[in-house]
Amino acid sequence: MFIITSIGRAFLNFAAQIGRLFIFTMHALYACVRPPLYIGLIGKQIIHIGYYSLPVVALTSFFTGGALAIQIYYGGNQFNSESIVASIVALGITRELGPVLAGLMVAGRVSAAIAAELGTMRVTEQIDALTTLSTDPMKYLVVPRLIAATISMPILAFFADIIGVMGGFVVATQSFGFNAALYIQRTTDFLDFDDISSGLIKATAFGFIIALMGCYNGYQSAGGAQGVGRATTNAVVSASILILATNYIMTSLLFSS
Amino acid sequence: MIIIKDLHKKFGTNAVLKGVSLDIQQGQSLVIIGGSGSGKSVLVKCILGLEQPTSGSITIDAHEMIGASRTARHKINSRIGMLFQHSALFDSLPIWQNVAFRALQTPSLSISDAREIAAEHLIRVGLETSLLDAFPNELSGGSAKRVGLARAIAPDANGTPPDILIFDEPTTGLDALMTEIINDLICECVENLHATTITITHDMRSVRTIADKAALLYRGGIIWQGEQNDLSDVTQDTNPYLYQFMNGLATGPIEVVE
């Protein structure tokens, strides 16, 4: 009996959580189309979310591109197919690794920061203070972060693509003696516009998820410092899982057609 | 004029407010006293629209606030200035932006005008204008309270100050000297703005300094309300609850909520 009660309670809690997230998302989307729009705050958030994430995204994609080139070279070596390094690195980075790794890195950095900031504002009554000053916290705090992350992520993913391919190029030409011009030619030959655009479309969705999970968990946090800590952890975990799940769904949809 | 009628608020099965009724005349200063956990802060949150009451009515100048539209609530909130218990200053904004926050919501207001509003109100609460560019984490508790007070009384971009002021435990955590200073500042601001004021406190010094009228909230209900002058006539026999609270006695009919 106890087990059934526990399962039932967990299921109800999960359903309630989904319901709250859905309502929060609807409120946030409605706030996005309702004036006023705080353009200055959106710009500030683009700097925080996009510009300041650039180094971490660049380093991650450079080393991933390099590691991918090594794996493909030694894998291809067994079938005398080392020449596929350039094309596979380009496709792997632009279609999957660029947007997903950028998404996961930004989720760890930005989602946590948003949840901590909004969570602290919640527990110190700063969000209540906004309401009493006739300012809608949804418009002032959530909308700028949502819009900024949705704009920033495809730009970051584009940089991740370029730097990831460059990582592969550096390893291939410096460690394995590939001809630089030939490597670039093979990369451009095999790369279509669709490969890049599919990655950027996915990155746009990841940007929305990252900001949404950060804002939702921060906004709903309660219970002092412990509550803020919990909100931060939940934001990163839920954003990361949702990014991977959304990536699978979007990849299926984009490439099955 | 603010009229609260039979206000109830439950969190799950826990009834925090149990039929609170109060009326505050235009320009009157009401102080609500009560121990920790008596429902004072929840009552204020219901008035501000931060919590939705379970039942009852709150009217501000004949406008019903419970279930009011976003626009109506926005309109009323633009007339309310609020000082939070821990000041609730926006820690990512400098002091001048905190104080002039209401005015800055009008995009046409220039930065120099906003800074002027902030400077004027900092001086009004006894702070130096050198603090304009400081951040809230650089302030002492007393200064943060003063900045919070300056933000509460600061006008919008049209120069209209709030005509309803709510102070949630304005002297909590302050020493005796700073408590007197904050109480005097509140009196001064209320007098200058001719504002209707609700103050939540458990500090009897604040009651004597600020109140025109006082009410004792105990376990979610108002068990006494009257004029400030009536407080001096209270004895153990006439009102044992109020007597115990006023004199800070550990024994009596009031049970401390853990």
The count of CB pairs under 8 A between chains A and B is 48
Query: To the nearest whole angstrom, how far is the Cα of B108 from the nearest Cα of chain A?
Result: 13
DSSP string, A213-256: HHHHHHHT--SHHHHHHHHHHHHHHHHHHHHHHHHHHHHHHHHH
Query: For residue range A19-56, what is the model confidence (pLDDT) as tens digits?
Result: 999 999 999 999 999 888 899 999 999 999 999 999 99
Most confident residue range from A137-151, A182-196, B102-116, B192-206: A137-151
Residue A15 has pLDDT above 90, yes or no: yes
Question: Does residue A149 contact residue A207 with C-beta atoms inside 8 Å?
Answer: yes
Nearest CA in chain A to B72: A134
In three-state secondary structure terms, B64 is: strand
pLDDT at A114: 96
Residues of chain B short of pLDDT 50, as ranges, are: none
* CB < 8 Å to A45, chain B: none
Query: Would you call A128 and B50 a contact, using CB atoms and an 8 Å cutoff?
Result: yes
Whether B78 and chain A come into contact, CB under 8 Å, resolves to yes
Query: What is d(CA A196, CA B97) in angstroms, rounded to the nearest whole number?
Result: 43
Average pLDDT value over all residues in chain A: 93
**Chain position carrying tokens 């095999």:** A190
A146: nearest Cα among A52, A26, A242, A228: A26
Query: Would you call A129 and B74 a contact, using CB atoms and an 8 Å cutoff?
Result: no
Tell me the pLDDT band of A214, cut-offs 50, 70 and 90: very high
pLDDT at B257: 56
User: Helices A193-219 and A112-123 sit at what angle, rounded to 10 degrees?
Assistant: 20
Tell me the pLDDT band of A8, cut-offs 50, 70 and 90: very high
Output the CA angle B102-B196-B1, nearest 5 degrees.
Answer: 110
* CB < 8 Å to B60, chain A: none
Measured CA to CA in angstroms, residue B192 lies from A150, A238, B3, B121, B212 at distances of: 48, 51, 23, 13, 16
Whether A27 and chain B come into contact, CB under 8 Å, resolves to no
Query: Would you call B88 and A126 a contact, using CB atoms and an 8 Å cutoff?
Result: yes
Parse chain A into domains and list their residue ranges.
1-31, 40-256
Query: Would you call B48 and A36 a contact, using CB atoms and an 8 Å cutoff?
Result: no
Q: Which helix (H) or strand (E) holds B212?
A: none
Which stretches does DSSP call E strand in chain B?
2-11, 14-24, 29-33, 55-60, 63-64, 80-83, 164-168, 196-201, 213-218, 221-227
Query: To the nearest whole angstrom, how far is the Cα of A238 from the nearest Cα of chain B?
Result: 26
Q: Give the residue-averaged pLDDT of A155-161.
A: 96
In three-state secondary structure terms, B223 is: strand
Tell me the pLDDT band of A257, cut-offs 50, 70 and 90: low
Query: Would you call B84 and A129 a contact, using CB atoms and an 8 Å cutoff?
Result: yes
Query: For residue range A60-99, what is the model confidence (pLDDT) as tens digits?
Result: 999 999 999 999 999 888 887 777 899 999 999 999 999 9
Count of all residues that appear for chain B in the document: 258
Question: Does residue B98 contact residue B132 with C-beta atoms inside 8 Å?
Answer: no
Query: To the nearest whole angstrom, how far is the Cα of B110 from the nearest Cα of chain A?
Result: 14
Q: What sign does the CA torsion over A141, B200, B72, B121 have?
A: negative
Residue B235 neighbours by CB distance under 10 Å: 9
Nearest CA in chain A to B153: A133
Query: For residue range A113-131, what is the model confidence (pLDDT) as tens digits?
Result: 999 999 999 999 999 999 9
Query: What are the residues facing B29 on neighbouring strands?
Result: B197
| ipTM computed for the complex | 0.87
Q: Residue B106 has what DSSP assignment?
A: S
Helix, strand, coil percentages (3-state) for chain B, rounded to 5, are 40, 25, 40
**Chain position carrying tokens 């004199």:** B247
pLDDT at B17: 93
Query: What is d(CA A131, CA B42) in angstroms, rounded to the nearest whole number?
Result: 15
Query: What is d(CA B100, CA B156) in angstroms, rounded to the nearest whole number?
Result: 8
Query: Would you call A129 and B88 a contact, using CB atoms and an 8 Å cutoff?
Result: yes
Query: Would you call A133 and B45 a contact, using CB atoms and an 8 Å cutoff?
Result: no
**% of chain A exceeding 70 in pLDDT:** 100
Whether A140 and chain B come into contact, CB under 8 Å, resolves to no
Query: Would you call A124 and B78 a contact, using CB atoms and an 8 Å cutoff?
Result: no
Query: Would you call A132 and B82 a contact, using CB atoms and an 8 Å cutoff?
Result: yes
Q: Residue B93 has what DSSP assignment?
A: S
Measured CA to CA in angstroms, residue A109 lies from A21, A132, A182, A199, A233 at distances of: 21, 31, 37, 20, 11
Interface test with A, best of B60, B69, B74, B99 (most A CBs within 10 A): B74
Peptide bond between residue A36 and the one before it cis (omega within 30 degrees of 0): yes
Supply B196's token pair. 């209707």
